A and B are shown apart, each in its own frame.
Chain A
Amino acid sequence: MPKVTIREERCKACGLCIHYCPKGVLGPSEKFNAKGYHPTEVKHPEKCIGCTICAQVCPDQVFEVYR
């Protein structure tokens, strides 16, 4: 099953990944990271198709994608 991992300490919570994920896999976390942002987290891992769009639109090199 495809999978994304998130280096949440790099995330600045711009929301581009959440907006552009075609399957609604991602959402904002309720916790804060060290920078003070609510980092993106995987809300629905089962929906991920490993398309890498999150990684491509991410300005902060947060994602690794496995398929």
Chain B
Amino acid sequence: MGKKILMKGNEALGEGAMRAGMRHYFGYPITPQSEVAAYLSKHLPKRGGVFLQAESEISAINMVYGAASAGRRVMTSSSSPGISLKMEGLSYLVGSELPCLIGNVMRGGPGLGNIAPAQADYFQAVKGGGHGDYHIIVLAPTTCQEMFDFAVMALNLADKYRNPVMILSDGALGQMMEPVVIPDEVPIEEYDKSWALTGAKDRPPNVVNSLFLDEKELEEHNIKLQEKFKRIEENEILYSEYRTEDAEYLFVAFGLVSRIVHSVVDLARAEGIKAGLLVPKMLWPFPKDRIAELAEQCRFLMSVEMNSGQMVEDVRLAVNGRRPVYFYGRMGGGVPAQRRVLEELKSHIEGGTK
């Protein structure tokens, strides 16, 4: 049954993680993710957990590294500039194959930017971000409910693959309030954690490490990681579609923007334009096969984002030149307006791609 509660996206993220067994949170204050820490500082101790406000983002991610080494479900969260600070630690987490949940409630950049919603950390999230060859699983919620649900999914996926998982949200999704259904029980998947540091009792010592000085060993380690990433790409995919069955013009949008574009599709349809929408809810792995498939039936595709054009590159890679792929975006905290997106769509239709 569960219960329905009106809560902020950031709170839903924290609640979802706790329901999924996360009992160790390490973070550093930054707007617009403050409610995650505020919520967890209030509720984690009551559920026997640890909330620790670290001296920096760098310390926080390394505390995550320590607690994950101990085999616990662990989380940190931040917003864009703070996530940049965590990138070294993220690379170590992947290199040492440690599971964890990282929340990024994105704000405008570059630099100190502002505290308005943005999606400008797409590249950083899905292409690696830190040093070395790696990927993390990136989930992109579109509602407060998904902030909750994806937190549960993220902690399961992290344990499943021994890899960090990021929830890529934004300042608006984090701050807005919506009803969230909190089920009595969430599915907690148990995976082997015999690698964890629990003390070498009746077993050889475990070592959590990303250092392989020998070139051959490091290459083998990299090959093993790449095989894992390939396995993730084969097994994990998450997206939704809206009015794509007969769509001639396909929008692709994630997160907050997908909700705006959802309405644009209706506006377009009301004018007789057969628009549709694909919403990647997992940004890595990216639903490239489905986009390629839909491209066959479309005249063109259009990616709408709150950045200068980042996901559009992955859409173009998926389409591989078969159809034009256009882009419309706002930056620095600007949110695309429905009418403006519709105009953009029409201008490309008029521009002639018959």
A and B touch in the complex (CB under 8 A): no
Which residues of chain A have a CB within 8 Å of any CB of chain B?
none
